[in-house]
Amino acid sequence: MATASPLRVIQFGLGPIGSAIARHVCERPGLDLVGAVDIAPSLVGRDAGDVLGLGPLGFPVVSSLPECLALTHADAVTHATASYMDLFKGQIIEILEAGLHVVSTAEELSFPWLDHAADAREIDAAAKRAGRTALATGVNPGFLLDALPLTLTAICQRVDHISVARTIDASARRGPFQAKIGAGMTVDAFQAKMAAGRMGHVGLRESMGMVFGTLGRSLTRVESHVEPIVASKQIATEYYRVLPGQVMGLKQVAQGYEDGECFVSFTFVAALEVDEEADVIEISGVPPLRMVLKGTNGDLATVAIIVNAIRNVVDAPTGLVCMRDLPLVTHW
């Protein structure tokens, strides 16, 4: 790691995940939280530490990056605002043009060359002009469905097929996550919102692109579908009350093909009161591999990988990168 003195970090976005990232930055030796940006009127002007539940930190939450940089200087921004390219692209470019590295939770930025190639080129050019680096990562996309199975292929002589199945009990997850999986909706409302394209898990296609591209495969077709999981009894969480017949979660399946042959299969299940959580990676090839990972807390894991990646990003070549481009990201 090139930096001996603490890296100065600004948190951009103070929703549940952004706030958790900011708190972990404060906990981590080698990092200093020096600024916080969010547009929520209820947060702007308040001491950032009070907003984060840490006690005063001596600087306020402000509504824009220029306001923040008028009060302090920084090395990097941890960014957690939106999943979709049209919502976060301007923020990422603004951060880079301000001369700051950025590590983001934005799913569509994790491997944007498949569906957002023109936007990716624009962000990459902005990063290179500024001499800075941009990365998006998280538990998924960023690790469980892409970086981890790709790492496992290092001990394979041949890879014929990769399958990853992720099952999540969403009961104790944050409110926005429960909303994203349709908790409490009618089946008709769920189907309508899915058709509009702004609900459900984001990132299966990005993970697919990273796996195919890294292994030198040609992704010729992706088939995907989403179905609601319907409650058979009443379920209550901190955020929602789900009646029998209403949606309690979802199942998403994506399959990636090369010339008519399925090479990658992803299954993502997130629902309330799931019996058993697990992440299962299976690689058909020589040798065949099966890995079962238990205890993955998606929120804690995303916060951890964002913070753990900061130093790698600061040390990386300039431009827009993804997890396959970095040296091994570890706790430090």
Residue 1: the pLDDT is 47
Other C-beta atoms closer than 10 Å to the C-beta of 28 total 19
Write out the DSSP string of 168-236: EEGGGS-HHHHHHTTTT--HHHHHHHHHHT-SS---HHHHHHHHHHHTT----EEEEEEEEEE-SS-EE
| Average confidence (pLDDT) over 144-149 | 98
Residues in Cβ contact with 283 at an 8 Å cutoff, skipping those fewer than 6 apart = 149, 152, 153, 156, 159, 161, 162, 163, 289, 290
**3 state DSSP class of 123:** helix
Does residue 198 register a pLDDT over 80?
no
Tell me whether strands 261-271 and 247-258 are parallel, antiparallel or unpaired.
antiparallel
d(CA 138, CA 210) in angstroms, rounded, equals: 14
Residue 176: the pLDDT is 85
Residue 3: the pLDDT is 52
What kind and span of H or E run contains 279?
strand 278-286
Other C-beta atoms closer than 10 Å to the C-beta of 67 total 14
d(CA 156, CA 215) in angstroms, rounded, equals: 12
Residue 229 has, within 13 A of its CA and on its CB side, a CA count of 22
Residue 40: the pLDDT is 98
Q: Report CA 193 to chain centroid distance, whole Å.
A: 21
Residue 196: the pLDDT is 84
Does residue 122 register a pLDDT over 60?
yes
d(CA 275, CA 290) in angstroms, rounded, equals: 21
**3 state DSSP class of 294:** coil
Mean pLDDT of the chain: 95
Q: Domains for the chain: give ranges and CATH numbers.
A: 7-138+300-325 (3.40.50.720), 147-295 (3.30.360)
Instruction: Give per-residue pLDDT as tens, 151-160.
Output: 999 999 999 9
The answer to which of 53-67, 112-126, 192-206, 231-245 has the lowest mean pLDDT is 192-206
Residue 199: the pLDDT is 78
| Average confidence (pLDDT) over 166-173 | 90
**3 state DSSP class of 253:** strand
d(CA 26, CA 299) in angstroms, rounded, equals: 17
Closest Cα to residue 282, out of 274, 272, 290, 270? 290
Percentage of the chain exceeding pLDDT 70: 99
Instruction: Give per-residue pLDDT as tens, 245-270.
Output: 999 999 999 999 999 999 999 999 99
Instruction: Give per-residue pLDDT as tens, 6-36.
Output: 999 999 999 999 999 999 999 999 999 999 9
pTM score of the predicted model: 0.93
CA distances (Å), origin 49, targets 32, 40, 65? 13, 16, 18
Residue 200: the pLDDT is 81
Does residue 2 register a pLDDT over 70?
no
Q: How many residues comprise the chain?
A: 332
Percentage of the chain exceeding pLDDT 90: 91
Q: Which residue has the tokens 């609900």?
A: 199
